[in-house]
A = this chain, B = another copy of it.
């Protein structure tokens, strides 16, 4: 006999509570906000306390973010009393991708790991090819977004 009884189309909700799937993480977001603020006040050197007041970002976290942006050469830093940060590059030349890469590493929408090793079907896989194409397009579009045009609201 050939299995007549199907169980029925249950619509039980998420066994795990997921819902995020976000592409831009908190630190990238914070970084963008901070960079926009700095971009709008290029004439001045902005200190962390000022940024904290303006952006309501947890101070130690913001400090870490700014330090990283400095290490990556995106910000200039001035130590000592009256010091702070300012843009090292023209805001129009800082793409959102660069900021994302600082905090989120390299893009790679589908890694398809196979037990810690690189997937054997990697180069034949159809899914991979299609996802890569979508990724390329998205990156191109994200690349067009710069701190410069974000800062202009």
- Residue ranges of A at the interface with B (Cβ–Cβ < 8 Å): 3, 5-7, 9-12, 14-15, 18-24, 26, 29, 32, 45, 56, 64, 68, 70-73, 76-79, 82-83, 88, 96, 100, 103-115, 124, 126-127, 130-131, 133-135, 137-138, 141-142, 145, 149-150, 152-153
Contacts and interface: CB of A to CB of B under 8 A. Distances in A.
B26 A113 contact: yes
Contacts of A138: 134, 137-138
A133 B19 CA distance: 20
State the 5 A-B residue pairs at the shortest beta-carbon distance, nearest first. Answer: A19-B105, A18-B105, A23-B109, A9-B73, A24-B110
B21 A105 contact: yes
A9 B88 contact: yes
B26 A23 contact: no
B107 A7 contact: no
User: Which applies to chain A's interface (DSSP): helix, strand, loop or mixed?
Assistant: loop
Contacts of A110: 22-24, 29
A77 to B, nearest CB: 5
A131 B104 CA distance: 16
B126 A153 contact: yes
A74 to B, nearest CB: 9
Contact of A6 (B20, B29, B76, B133): B76
A7 B70 contact: yes
